[in-house]
């Protein structure tokens, strides 16, 4: 496929490197930037046939099959509108909108125009994420009870991201969009997100937007999706996910501890890793950053979905749900209460059922716990189904000589 890149900044370059690697057959055809120097430099760096400072020209070009939006958040909507106008498939960088209302308008545009709307949520395409999601879907950890997704680093690369008007917010809009969608996948996209509790503050930076936030999203089945996001973290980029299920646990570290450790006195060096803070001492490089961040898998899914006329793993609808959850998070940070997730357009399961799984020990008791103590005693903790009384049954271990000697 031939791609029109809108934007030429940090994320556009990251995308381009992934697309033009590993003998992939899809190629960037043109790049748009309002700044002609940037457009030209990008075009030269990646060997494009064309560049332009006119966004519509890039989108409308007859050679272009699909448009890749790598623009500041406030420019997503006009760019999607232009794609709809020219009936070009569109892939949009996260977050889809600054608000659910904005995202919903973009969703309507692509659905009305009958074009493909791919949501570039890269962290739902990392190798570890995809494998862990598959394990969960196969039942390896039972029913998901809680997920935590954490993304913290010392702050974004581009100036516009620090301006609330252009970005739509701070760490929440920049980072929690990832975390929320990771949790949604683990808990199940059909499970409705009900309400959000969020704390947010501007702890360090001279900005209006929040540079630190923590939120809990409650789902219809009783599961909790937690996000922890910050632009105040020191030590690199912390990207971790955790999942607790009734039958197991998953811990993922995407960036800072991936099995690659280097100590350097500081001679030599160079670029170690995205958002690393130093080039001496103990360093934790990532082997293939682009792959560990999910770009190759993401583009493969998007282009295959277009060719096979199927929905991608992450669609504009997902982007809209994420924005609705973030809206509730912003509300909650202000109201200091749980706030409902406003979803006019919910396409998942209607049923709301918070089921607890109780294990019977015998006809009259539930099993609370079974255990072997260090001294060898066996302990059963049971609860009478009628009276609710908790009892303990203990079987003393055979004494061993010198046990406590």
Instruction: CB nearer to a copy of itself: give 84 or 229.
Output: 229
Instruction: CB nearer to a copy of itself: give 78 or 281.
Output: 281
Residues 6+ apart with CB under 8 A from 220: 191, 192, 193, 194, 349, 351, 352, 353, 354
Instruction: CB nearer to a copy of itself: give 122 or 292.
Output: 292
Is 344 a binding residue for a copy of itself by CB under 8 A? The answer is no
Strand segments, DSSP code E, in 123-211 are: 144-152, 193-201
Is 372 a binding residue for a copy of itself by CB under 8 A? The answer is yes
**By CB under 8 A, what part of segment 188-207 binds a copy of itself?**
197, 199, 201-207
Instruction: CB nearer to a copy of itself: give 62 or 405.
Output: 405
Closest CA to 245 of 147, 145, 148: 145
Taking CB under 8 A as the binding criterion, the range among 86-94, 104-112, 340-348, 370-378 that sits at the site for a copy of itself is 370-378
Is 300 a binding residue for a copy of itself by CB under 8 A? The answer is yes
CB 321 within 8 A of CB 337: no
Instruction: CB nearer to a copy of itself: give 60 or 194.
Output: 194
**By CB under 8 A, what part of segment 268-287 binds a copy of itself?**
268-271, 274, 277-278, 280-287
**By CB under 8 A, what part of segment 222-261 binds a copy of itself?**
222, 224, 226, 228, 230, 232-236, 244-254, 257-261
Is 400 a binding residue for a copy of itself by CB under 8 A? The answer is no
Query: Do you know the residue count of the chain?
Result: 405
**By CB under 8 A, what part of segment 313-332 binds a copy of itself?**
none
Instruction: CB nearer to a copy of itself: give 62 or 234.
Output: 234
What's the min distance (Å) between Cβ of 337 and a copy of itself? 5
How many CB atoms are closer than 10 A to CB 26? Answer: 16
Backbone angles phi, psi at 348, to 5 degrees: -100, -155
Across the beta sheet with 2-6, what order do the strands follow? 50-52, 27-32, 2-6, 66-69, 89-93, 117-120
What's the min distance (Å) between Cβ of 260 and a copy of itself? 5
Burial class (CB in 10 A: 0-12, 13-18, 19+), 253: middle
Instruction: CB nearer to a copy of itself: give 60 or 133.
Output: 133
Instruction: CB nearer to a copy of itself: give 114 or 399.
Output: 399
- CA torsion sign for 350, 100, 186, 294 is positive
Instruction: CB nearer to a copy of itself: give 152 or 319.
Output: 152
Backbone angles phi, psi at 143, to 5 degrees: -80, 130
d(CA 264, CA 262): 6
**Angle of the 177-187 helix axis to the 127-137 helix axis, nearest 10:** 30
Q: Which of 265, 309, 387, 400 binds a copy of itself (CB under 8 A)?
A: 265
Is 75 a binding residue for a copy of itself by CB under 8 A? The answer is no
Total number of residues that touch a copy of itself (CB under 8 A)? 135
Chain-centroid distance of CA 92 in Å reads 14
What's the min distance (Å) between Cβ of 113 and a copy of itself? 25
Is 36 a binding residue for a copy of itself by CB under 8 A? The answer is no
**By CB under 8 A, what part of segment 139-198 binds a copy of itself?**
139-142, 145-146, 148, 152, 154-160, 162-163, 197
Site string for a copy of itself, 206-225 (x = CB under 8 A): xxx---x-x-x-x---x-x-
Q: Which of 40, 53, 108, 135 binds a copy of itself (CB under 8 A)?
A: 135
d(CA 291, CA 126): 7
CB 120 within 8 A of CB 93: yes
What's the min distance (Å) between Cβ of 195 and a copy of itself? 9
Report residue 229 as tokens: 């996001």
Q: Which of 36, 81, 390, 395 binds a copy of itself (CB under 8 A)?
A: 390
d(CA 26, CA 20): 8
d(CA 108, CA 326): 19
Is 296 a binding residue for a copy of itself by CB under 8 A? The answer is yes
What's the min distance (Å) between Cβ of 279 and a copy of itself? 8
Is 309 a binding residue for a copy of itself by CB under 8 A? The answer is no
Q: Is the peptide bond before 95 cis (omega within 30 degrees of 0)?
A: yes
């Amino acid at each position: 496929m031939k791609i029109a890149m809108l934007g030429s900044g940090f994320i556009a370059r990251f995308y381009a490197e992934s697309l033009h690697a590993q003998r992939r057959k899809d190629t960037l055809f043109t790049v748009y930037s309002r700044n002609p120097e940037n457009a030209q430099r990008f075009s030269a760096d990646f060997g494009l046939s064309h560049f332009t400072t006119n966004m519509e020209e890039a989108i409308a070009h007859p050679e272009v099959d699909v448009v890749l939006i790598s623009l500041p958040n406030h420019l997503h909507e006009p760019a999607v509108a232009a794609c709809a106008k020219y009936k070009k498939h569109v892939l949009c960088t996260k977050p889809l909108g600054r608000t659910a209302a904005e995202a919903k308008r973009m969703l309507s545009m692509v659905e009305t125009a009958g074009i493909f709307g791919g949501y570039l949520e890269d962290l739902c395409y990392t190798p570890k994420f995809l494998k862990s999601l598959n394990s969960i879907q196969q039942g390896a950890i039972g029913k998901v009870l809680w997920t935590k997704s954490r993304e913290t680093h010392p702050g974004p690369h581009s100036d516009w991201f620090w301006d609330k008007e252009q970005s739509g917010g701070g760490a929440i809009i920049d980072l929690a969009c990832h975390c929320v969608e990771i949790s949604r996948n683990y808990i199940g996209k059909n499970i409705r997100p009900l309400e959000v509790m969020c704390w947010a503050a501007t702890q360090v930076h001279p900005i209006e937007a929040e540079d630190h936030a923590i939120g809990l999203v409650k789902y219809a089945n009783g599961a909790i999706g937690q996000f922890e996001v910050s632009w105040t973290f020191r030590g690199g980029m912390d990207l971790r996910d955790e999942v607790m299920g009734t039958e197991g646990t998953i811990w993922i570290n995407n960036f800072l501890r991936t099995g690659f450790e280097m100590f350097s006195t500081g001679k030599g060096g160079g670029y170690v890793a995205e958002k690393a803070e130093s080039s001496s001492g103990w360093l934790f490089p990532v082997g293939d950053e682009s792959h560990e961040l999910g770009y190759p898998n993401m583009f493969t899914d998007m282009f295959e979905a277009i060719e096979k006329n199927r929905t991608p793993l992450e669609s504009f609808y997902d982007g809209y749900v994420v924005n609705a959850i973030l809206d509730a998070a912003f509300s909650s940070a202000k109201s200091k209460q749980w706030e409902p997730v406003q979803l006019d357009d919910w396409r998942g399961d209607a049923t709301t059922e918070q089921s607890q799984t109780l294990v019977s020990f015998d006809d009259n008791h539930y099993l609370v716990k079974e255990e072997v103590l260090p001294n060898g005693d066996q302990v059963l903790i049971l609860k009478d189904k009628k009276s609710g009384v908790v009892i303990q049954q203990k079987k003393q271990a055979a004494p061993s000589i010198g046990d406590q000697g």
